[in-house]
Amino acid sequence: MSLPSIKLSDGHEIPQVGLGLWQVKDAAAFNAAFKAAIDAGYRHFDSAQFYDNEDLLGAAVQQMGLNREELFITSKVKLPNFGEKRTASSVDGSLAKLQTSYIDLMLLHFPVTVLRRKSWRALEDAKAAGKIRSIGVSNYTIKHLEEMKTYAREMPVVNQVELHVFLQQLELLDYCREHGIVVEAYSPLAHGKRMQDKVITAMAERHGKSYAQIMLRWAIENSLVVLPKSITPERIQQNIDIFDFELYPEELQEITKLNCNLRTCWDPNHVP
């Protein structure tokens, strides 16, 4: 199965579904999930320095003998590595752990006060050196993106944020669309919270799909990149099996009403 991709403003393309790798640190569980994902058609893998599994991803790619050019690998600079020299060094460290000569997408994991400017400069330099193909940010608000206009030589092509049917972030989404920034939705299933909503349940029954598949399909129809995380082969398969149906216009309108600002992760809105 060939997954749809979204074109980034720098000309590269990003597969619209990726496997989130947060908390997957056990080698056996990681390898089983990775193989299940490859077999299901995933080619986009979302790691981070903070996840402490870049080495597992690099080893899994090598063990399966996969063509690097067919994969899309993301990593993120963790907070202790912010600062121009530390970020630059950490990119080299990520390359070594991932056993690759380039990273498809490197993000700043959080808008760390003061140091985010210097770290962004380091990513721009690493991209110019060919170590990274695309650069972006994670957990940035409109305020942080607006500030970037004052110091960035190039703006991020991606903003990865918590986003799901119960946290739709409509203002941020509109801003990113207007500025050519692709939004990636992490925790698109809200960490399993509110999984008994009657509106979503009815849609799942109507379409013969799971509750999670309805949530993910909503994100796809809003032109988001989704990063569902699972180590269960059956769920890994289900989370990518969302391209054989569409939600009805009235269903999309119903889902809009479910927005209730439910955050299951950190909130960057209060970061200056």
The per-residue pLDDT string of the chain (272 residues; one tens digit each, 9 = 90 and over) reads 578 999 999 999 999 999 999 878 889 999 999 999 999 999 999 999 999 999 999 999 999 989 999 999 999 999 999 999 999 999 999 999 999 999 999 999 999 999 999 999 999 999 999 999 999 999 999 999 999 999 999 999 999 999 999 999 999 999 999 999 999 999 999 877 888 899 999 999 999 999 999 999 999 999 999 999 998 999 999 999 999 999 999 999 999 999 998 887 788 998 99
The answer to whether 151 is a known catalytic residue is no
Is the sign of the CA dihedral 130, 162, 3, 60 positive or negative?
positive
| pLDDT value, residue 113 | 93
pLDDT at position 1, please?
A: 57
Alpha carbons 103 and 44: distance in angstroms, whole number = 12
Helix (H) or strand (E) holding 44, with range, is strand 44-46
Rounded Cα distance, 209 and 235, in Å: 12
Domain 13-262 has CATH 3.20.20.100: yes
Give how far Cα 4 sits from Cα of 48, 72, 245, 249, 255, Å. Answer: 23, 13, 14, 21, 23
Counts of helices then strands in the chain (DSSP H, E): 10, 10
- Beta partners for residue 77, in sequence order: 108
Return phi, psi of residue 247, to 5°. -80, 145
Nearest to 114 by CA among 149, 84, 154: 84
Sequence letter at residue 104: D
- Which pLDDT value is given to residue 25? 81
**pLDDT at res. 184:** 98
Single-letter code of the amino acid located at 212 = A
Record the tokens describing residue 206, joined without a space: 């109507």
Q: Where are the domains of the chain?
A: 13-262
- Torsion angle of alpha carbons 93, 26, 163, 138, nearest 10°? -10
Residue 44 · residue 78 · CB < 8 Å: no
Instruction: From 82, 101, 74, 81, select the one nearest 12 (Cα to Cα).
Output: 74
Of the listed 42, 51, 186, 211, which one is catalytic?
51
